[in-house]
Amino acid sequence: MYDFKGKVALVTGASRGIGRAVAVALARGGASVAINYAGNEAAAQEALALCEKAGAAKVGLFRFDVADPVAASAAVERVGNELGGLSFLVNNAGIALDQLVMRVKDDDWRRQIDVNLTGAFNLMRAAARPMMKAKGGSIVNLTSVVGEMGNAGQAAYSATKAGLIGLTKSVARELASRNVRVNAVAPGFIDTDMTAALPEAAKQKMSEAIPLGRLGTADDVAAAVAWLCSDQASYVTGEVIRVNGGMYM
């Protein structure tokens, strides 16, 4: 457990899955947590209850579309006003609309770019000023193993995740002089609601492609994010931490 007392975290896409696990991990260290979600109110309330139970100093729900730059900027300002600043930003919100490249619809391409890449940019741009003013902060972007190795049927999604790695490294260089660190975590195949619906044969095939022989958990990813937010990672910026069981090295 890390000591996050007095820290404030904004986690996007935090109502379930990896985002929820990250929010709970930061809450466990005593941080105040702002939970962003797109529309699932019931799931957001569950995440809020879990964060409170884990020991968060404060918890707030923030419903907005990360792809909307005005909403993202307003949310960062509101987090600062209601929770007392902004120490950590975790860009986890994302969507995957899988399709072979020749069949990808223009609207699906744009929506994935808007949420996965522009959404992270919107929040990083908004968070940069208060973090620089405070002379400290940690931004963690959730990319993906497919952003590094590619995946058939995920041309658009892979492109957004690869772009997120470049964005991470560039902003890390820009903000380092103000002690604001920017890193990325690249999960592999993670056992979430999405993979839970897959047939057992498909899960077995996925596991066979992973040297450690199993799918990862949301907590595996959250542990890496929490470390990057902690003082133990104070000399780490511009990095991509792979949490993929060895499927891409």
Question: Is the residue at 249 inside a domain?
Answer: no
pLDDT for 200 equals: 85
Question: Is the residue at 247 inside a domain?
Answer: no
Helix (H) or strand (E) holding 241: strand 240-243
Indicate the pTM of the whole model.
Answer: 0.97
pLDDT for 226 equals: 98
pLDDT for 224 equals: 98
pLDDT for 114 equals: 98
Closest by CA to 118, choosing from 146, 139, 93, 88, is 93
Q: Quickly state the pLDDT bin for 206 (edges 50, 70, 90).
A: confident
Question: Is the residue at 1 inside a domain?
Answer: no
Task: Return d(Cα 123, Cα 113) in angstroms, integer.
Answer: 14
Report the number of distinct structural domains present in the chain.
Answer: 1
Q: Contact, 123 vs 45, CB < 8 A?
A: no
Across the range 103-110, mean pLDDT stands at 98
Question: What is the domain range of residue 55?
Answer: 8-242
pLDDT for 157 equals: 96
Q: What is the DSSP string of 103-159?
A: G--HHHHHHHIIIIIIHHHHHHHHHHHHHHHHT-EEEEEE--THHHH--TTBHHHHH
Across the range 139-143, mean pLDDT stands at 98
pLDDT for 104 equals: 97
Across the range 3-13, mean pLDDT stands at 98
Express each pLDDT in 150-169 by its tens digit: 999 999 999 999 999 999 99
- Give every CB contact of residue 199 below 8 A, 6+ residues apart in sequence: none
Question: Is the residue at 118 inside a domain?
Answer: yes
Express each pLDDT in 16-52 by its tens digit: 999 999 999 999 999 999 999 999 999 999 999 999 9
pLDDT for 48 equals: 98
- In the chain, the percentage of residues whose pLDDT exceeds 90 is 93
What's the burial of 145, exposed, middle or buried (CB within 10 Å: 0-12/13-18/19+)? buried
Query: What are 186's strand-pairing partners?
Result: 242
Q: Quickly state the pLDDT bin for 223 (edges 50, 70, 90).
A: very high
Whole-number average pLDDT of the chain: 96
pLDDT for 46 equals: 98
Question: Is the residue at 120 inside a domain?
Answer: yes
Residue among 2, 157, 235, 248 flagged as catalytic: 157
Express each pLDDT in 175-202 by its tens digit: 999 999 999 999 999 998 767 777 788 7
Task: Return d(Cα 144, Cα 142) in angstroms, integer.
Answer: 7
Q: Does the active-site annotation cover 2?
A: no
Question: Is the residue at 213 inside a domain?
Answer: yes
Return the CATH number at 151. Answer: 3.40.50.720
Query: What are 243's strand-pairing partners?
Result: 187
Question: Is the residue at 78 inside a domain?
Answer: yes
Residue 123 has pLDDT above 80, yes or no: yes
Coil/strand/helix, residue 244: coil
Question: Is the residue at 2 inside a domain?
Answer: no
The distance from CA 225 to its chain's CA centroid, rounded to whole angstroms, is 8
